[in-house]
Copies of this chain bind each other. A is one copy, B any other.
Amino acid sequence: MELSKYARKLGENASSAARVLRASSEESRNAALDALSKILLKDAFAILSANAEDVEDAKAAGLSAAMIDRLTLNPHRLKGIARAVDEIAALPDPLNKLIDKKRRKDGLKISRVSVPIGTVLFIYESRPNVTIDGAALCIKSGNAVILRGGKETLRSNAALAACIRKALKAAKLPEAAAQVVSTPDRALLDLLLRDDAHIDLVIPRGGETLIRAVVEKSSIPVIKHYKGVCHTYVDKTADLKKAAAILLNAKVQRPSACNALETLLLDKSLKASAGTALLKALADQGVGLYGDAASRKLSRSVKAASPSAYDTEYLELKASVKVVDGVRGAVDHIAKHGTGHTDAVLAESEKVQQAFLAGVDSASVMINASTRFADGGEYGLGAEVGISTDKLHARGPMGVESLTTYKWIVEGNGHVRK
């Protein structure tokens, strides 16, 4: 099929499916998810065979070991994917919730209820689990979805798409409720990103380059996060034992996560011995430290920071360090170098905590806790749609609720406006 015709079909089919989903029952949406979870295991052989071919090609093409790992499915991982679908099915229905309701003196009733957004375009890279995750989150929330994965996973995604179609059919929902794009052509993606008549929201998941390209091309609203340069500020009133444990957790537990610590800010009024001890704790765990002159005086394991250090998201066992002038200095540094993701203050003084909280404009602000908590699961949102460093609609970790909007309902009995 011609590319522009294919793009139009994807949009139109999604839009028609969205009309059906909007009026669908919770039972039928959950039935589709229950079926999907079972079909994934029943069709495991087909999925794993398709995936093995993708992996073979990826190896032949010389892709990195990390990339190949992200791409690879095995029975254990497939079970995990099916379990995630079960967990999404078990969430409370995010639709038709009464948000607020009032009754005017003249008897007119005005209420707001949650409804699906419509059609969502998911754009992602090589993880095939996102295909199922994205489909399940959208089916749960009554949205049609177009799933566009990376070119490395075409065969895996085609096999997963077949499972999704079977599940939708079993639940008597339209198969176009979740369409998997069958070509990695960039030109097709560009066409979809301009189809604001049929697509209501774009969610890109992946590296900053991918996301910036999507934002540049899209005429549809995009919810995204570019990067997470997360700060932790240690005030002179911090409890040092807690501080050491929190810093290690924030940096070392999973350095590749977007909520991992990247920059440590030390209060200049903190005792030198305390600063030295905290830096040593990090260095002892193999964290490479890059800092300003003042922090280098505290520990010889701190190397000189390059000019771009404070804007760097390392995503590995490295961190930037800076000595700042109290909470005010920390707030100023974060205003300049922060990415609005997650920042923490370690202080026993409530005044300092409040000054940090009021001054730092980030999606999540942590008080005496690890930045690693910024996560949909940890926040009790059930399943995570993504993380947003945008300010509109959804901010920080997003649950399935972020895939809904609302509708005003006005009920009268012949009411006219005066």
Residues of A bordering B, CB below 8 Å = 19, 22-23, 102, 104, 108, 110, 115, 117-118, 200-201, 215, 219, 221, 223, 239, 241-242, 245-246, 248-250, 253, 335, 357-359, 361-370, 372-375, 378-380, 390-393, 395-397, 405-417
**Extra pairs beyond A361-B407, A368-B414 (6, CB < 8 Å):** A23-B358, A110-B379, A239-B414, A372-B417, A373-B410, A374-B408
Closest 3 CB pairs of A and B: A369-B412, A242-B414, A249-B416
Please state if B417 and A357 are interface contacts (CB–CB under 8 Å): no
> What residues of B have a CB within 8 angstroms of the CB of A372 in the complex?
416-417
Please state if B239 and A201 are interface contacts (CB–CB under 8 Å): no
Please state if A407 and B102 are interface contacts (CB–CB under 8 Å): no
Please state if B19 and A411 are interface contacts (CB–CB under 8 Å): no
A392 to B249 alpha-carbon distance, docked (Å)? 35
> What residues of B have a CB within 8 angstroms of the CB of A378 in the complex?
417
Please state if B242 and A413 are interface contacts (CB–CB under 8 Å): yes
Known interface pairs A242-B413, A366-B412, A367-B412. Does A117 touch B359 (Cβ–Cβ under 8 Å)? no
Copy number of this protein in the oligomer? 2
A360 to B407 alpha-carbon distance, docked (Å)? 10
Known interface pairs A369-B415, A416-B246. Does A102 touch B380 (Cβ–Cβ under 8 Å)? yes
* Minimum distance in angstroms from A64 CB to a CB of chain B: 27
Please state if A249 and B413 are interface contacts (CB–CB under 8 Å): no
Complex partner residue of A405 from B221, B365, B368, B392, CB under 8 angstroms: B392
Interface centre among A221, A358, A378, A415 (most CB of B within 10 A): A415
Complex partner residue of A22 from B118, B200, B248, B358, CB under 8 angstroms: B358
Please state if A367 and B408 are interface contacts (CB–CB under 8 Å): no
14 residue pairs from A and B, CB less than 8 Å apart: A102-B380, A201-B391, A201-B392, A253-B416, A253-B417, A364-B410, A366-B410, A367-B409, A367-B411, A370-B417, A375-B417, A395-B405, A395-B407, A395-B408
Please state if A108 and B369 are interface contacts (CB–CB under 8 Å): yes
> What residues of B have a CB within 8 angstroms of the CB of A118 in the complex?
361, 391
> What residues of B have a CB within 8 angstroms of the CB of A413 in the complex?
242, 368
* Minimum distance in angstroms from A282 CB to a CB of chain B: 14
Please state if B408 and A364 are interface contacts (CB–CB under 8 Å): yes
Nearest-CB residue, chain B, relative to A18: B361
* Minimum distance in angstroms from A11 CB to a CB of chain B: 14
Nearest-CB residue, chain B, relative to A239: B414
Please state if A365 and B108 are interface contacts (CB–CB under 8 Å): no
Complex partner residue of A359 from B23, B246, B359, B396, CB under 8 angstroms: B23
Please state if B373 and A417 are interface contacts (CB–CB under 8 Å): yes
> What residues of B have a CB within 8 angstroms of the CB of A357 in the complex?
409
* Minimum distance in angstroms from A26 CB to a CB of chain B: 13
A361 to B16 alpha-carbon distance, docked (Å)? 12
Nearest-CB residue, chain B, relative to A113: B357
> What residues of B have a CB within 8 angstroms of the CB of A411 in the complex?
367-369
Please state if B408 and A363 are interface contacts (CB–CB under 8 Å): yes
> What residues of B have a CB within 8 angstroms of the CB of A408 in the complex?
363-365, 374, 379, 395-397
A367 to B113 alpha-carbon distance, docked (Å)? 15
Please state if A405 and B417 are interface contacts (CB–CB under 8 Å): no
Complex partner residue of A117 from B22, B108, B391, CB under 8 angstroms: B391
> What residues of B have a CB within 8 angstroms of the CB of A241 in the complex?
414
